[in-house]
Amino acid sequence: MRQGIKKLIQYGAGVALLRLLRLSRAVLNKSRSLLATGIAQALCKHFGEGSRVQHNVWLQDLKQISFGTNCIICSGSIVVSESENGFMDIGDDVSINMNVRIDYTGGLKVGRNVVISESAVVYTHSHGFDPHSPPRGFYKEIGDLAWIGARAIVLPQCQRIGKGSVIAAGAIVSSDVPPNSVVAGNPARVIRTLQ
């Protein structure tokens, strides 16, 4: 009986410690996110009301980035440019989920209510066949209400994703996407038109 009570107390202490560790990690992450959001508010070209940047997000050259209202960039995301002339304009109510990589070297305009799902990649430049050559930028526009699925890759040759379009998870997009279309595959092709 004593042995059972002793194990129960040890188990309870372990659970309490685990809960305390989880709580302290949550408080730390929340604090780091508040700090990241504050830095973005201070340094971005424009930072809309209600927008948030979570902890562990890399935003390069903040003065070239504009956020609309109520946007979020989730933890682990990377937003970079290989050119001083790159810019990124994000519309209202945009959600950029965890571990997304966005390159805005050629310029990027993201419309309103766009969702970029976990681990998706968006490129706006190419080095051709020589990785050491200077980057060649391609302007890209992602239309309102577009949804880029998890682990999709949008290559620089795709310069427009139309309004209301859906890029399926894992798709590799190398050409423009018409409005209200669903594209999937490698290379991505239109598989359906939405009403």
Active site residue 55: no
Q: Which of 46, 55, 125, 127 is catalytic?
A: 127
CB neighbour burial string for 77-88, b if at least 16 within 10 angstroms, e if fewer: bbbebbbeebbb
CA angle at 146 for the pair 142 and 152, rounded to the nearest 5°: 85
Name 41's Cβ contacts closer than 8 Å, sequence gap at least 6: 47
Say how many Å lie between the first and final Cα of the chain, rounded.
68
* Residues labelled catalytic: 127
